[in-house]
Amino acid sequence: MPVKVARAEPEFVPGVRHPLERWLRTDRLPHIWCSGCGLGTALSAFLYALDELGWDPDSIAVVSGIGCTGRVAGYLKLDTYHTTHGRPIPFATGLKLAKPDLHVIVFSGDGDLFAIGGNHFIHAARRNMDITVICVNNLNYGMTGGQLGPTTPVGALTTTSPFGNFEHPFNLVHLAASAGATYVARWTTLDGRRLQKAFVEALSHKGFTFVEILSPCPTNYGRRNRMGEALDELKYYREHMVIRHGADPKDADILPGKPFLVGKFVDLEKPTYLELYQTKAREIGGG
Amino acid sequence: MSELQERAAKLWKVPKGYIYVLEEFCKGCGFCVEFCPKKVLAQASHFNDKGYHPPEVVDPEACVLCGFCERICPDFAIWVEEEGKGDVS
């Protein structure tokens, strides 16, 4: 409830635009995401990164899968693909190989990328496909009603684990690093400018790059785990996140009520799939 | 687009520039109010069309135009502009 009252009277100005509106399909806004969902923040950080990079919009393609995060493709005024469930990475791989000059970005959720499309993720990382994968991790299947997902922490309550989750979840940072990703970072939706910097680094990095964003899910995950409103979830992040660059990805587990690591975990150079393919093709005389 | 032309944002003058709030886009999450480092904003007592309380500027003098409200807003409903320079973020 308001404590203070506005002293200055506002002016009404018609026809003004948000600075990011040149990247957005404004006829589709306001978006469908719940009040307090971190997806809008993650999307705006991504758009600020595109602003900073200054790339031609025609040279960018965004691919997303199914789920709340999958809706990103529908809101961007870029070449976007809203693909079948779990398959944004195969689509992105095809796109990158057919048009190597294109900047290909996969923007999807944890369920889409790691449960339904888990196999595609590890193999794209293994081959070092030159794409950027952005995963918004809300720790459950948000769109379908808050079921247990591959990233749900041990002990967390969901619709399909009403007595608490007993399964071992994925540590996405460790998974990406061990599968061969050349850039791995994790941030929360609270880190506006750090997130923008991570996106700029990941997008301009050669090879398979991965950015995980921890996002509140107030409607499903937060409510069932009695974390309160989205605001309380962000306060929880503020109190529990520990920024440690270059930490061992093994230590980046997320446990309820325990501190978790964020930062840049991996940053290395490795020949990409396309480079290796071209080298091989030249070697055997076909290139 | 005609809808865009009709859309009116609220504008507050702060020492270094302006704060815009587009009330119809706001979903009342309260992020901008809570995470403003200078406590410039508060939730208004009135409702928008969707039934949420949009933010309003209660302490314009304190604003240093860091633009964090614009960064944290998930709904593209609040943004800042530096005097004479356009968008700062």
In angstroms, the CA A117 to CA A136 distance is 14
- Given 3-state DSSP classes, what are the helix, strand and coil percentages for chain A, each rounded to the nearest 5? 40, 20, 40
Spatial CB neighbours of A210, under 8 Å, sequence gap ≥ 6: A125, A132, A133, A135, A172, A176, A181, A183, A184, A185, A202
Contact B71 A26 (CB under 8 A): no
Residue/partner pairs of A165-174 with CB below 8 Å, 24 or more apart: A169/A254, A170/A114, A171/A249, A171/A250, A171/A252, A171/A253, A171/A254, A172/A110, A172/A114, A172/A135, A172/A137, A172/A210, A172/A212, A173/A212, A173/A249, A173/A252, A173/A261, A173/A265, A174/A249, A174/A250, A174/A252
pLDDT tens per residue, range A40-90? 999 999 999 999 999 999 999 999 999 999 999 999 999 999 999 999 999
| Number of cross-chain residue pairs from A and B with Cβ atoms under 8 Å apart | 134
In angstroms, the CA A260 to CA A236 distance is 11
Q: How confident is the model at residue B7 (pLDDT cuts 50, 70, 90)?
A: confident
What are the C-alpha distances in Å from A182 to residues A89, A210, A224, B15, B38? 16, 8, 36, 44, 39
The overall average pLDDT reported for chain A is: 90
pLDDT value at position A2? 47
pLDDT value at position A4? 53
Q: A235 in contact with B at a CB cutoff of 8 Å? A: yes
Backbone CA torsion sign across A207, A74, B54, B1: positive
CA distance B48 to chain A (A): 13
**Residue A155, Ramachandran bin (φ over 0: left; ψ between -120 and 50: alpha; else beta):** left
End-to-end C-alpha distance for chain A, whole angstroms? 68
* Residue A88: CB atoms within 10 Å: 32
Interface of A with B in 261-280 (CB under 8 A): none
Interface of A with B in 161-190 (CB under 8 A): 189-190
pLDDT value at position B86? 55
H runs (alpha helix) in chain A: 39-53, 72-75, 88-98, 110, 118-127, 172-179, 192-204, 223-224, 230-240, 273-283
In angstroms, the CA B77 to CA B23 distance is 7
> HSE on the CB side for A47, CA within 13 Å?
26
- Least CB–CB distance from A2: residue in B42, B57, B87: B42
- Residue B11's beta-bridge partner residues? A11, B20
pLDDT value at position B6? 63
Q: Please state the domain extents for chain A.
A: 33-283
pLDDT value at position A87? 93
In angstroms, the CA A176 to CA A191 distance is 21
In angstroms, the CA A97 to CA A273 distance is 9
Q: A200 in contact with B at a CB cutoff of 8 Å? A: no
Contact A10 B10 (CB under 8 A): yes
Length of chain B: 89
Percent of chain B scored above 70 by pLDDT? 88
pLDDT value at position A1? 45
- Least CB–CB distance from B76: residue in A6, A34, A44: A44
Contacts of A24 in chain B (CB under 8 A): 76
What kind of fold does domain A33-283 have according to CATH? Rossmann fold (3.40.50)
Per DSSP, the three-state class of B10 is strand
Per DSSP, the three-state class of A216 is coil
In angstroms, the CA A41 to CA A191 distance is 9
Contacts of A1 in chain B (CB under 8 A): 43, 45
Contacts of B9 in chain A (CB under 8 A): 12-13, 16
Domains present along chain B, CATH in parentheses: 2-83 (3.30.70.20)
pLDDT tens per residue, range A241-280? 999 999 899 988 888 888 999 999 999 999 999 999 999 9
Q: A27 in contact with B at a CB cutoff of 8 Å? A: yes
- Least CB–CB distance from A16: residue in B9, B44, B70: B9
- A3 is written with which tokens? 């404590």
Contacts of A216 in chain B (CB under 8 A): none
- Least CB–CB distance from B71: residue in A18, A36, A192: A192
Length of chain A: 287
Contacts of A27 in chain B (CB under 8 A): 1, 3
Backbone CA torsion sign across A82, A115, B73, A244: negative
Q: A53 in contact with B at a CB cutoff of 8 Å? A: no
pLDDT tens per residue, range B57-76? 998 888 999 989 999 999 99
Q: A239 in contact with B at a CB cutoff of 8 Å? A: no
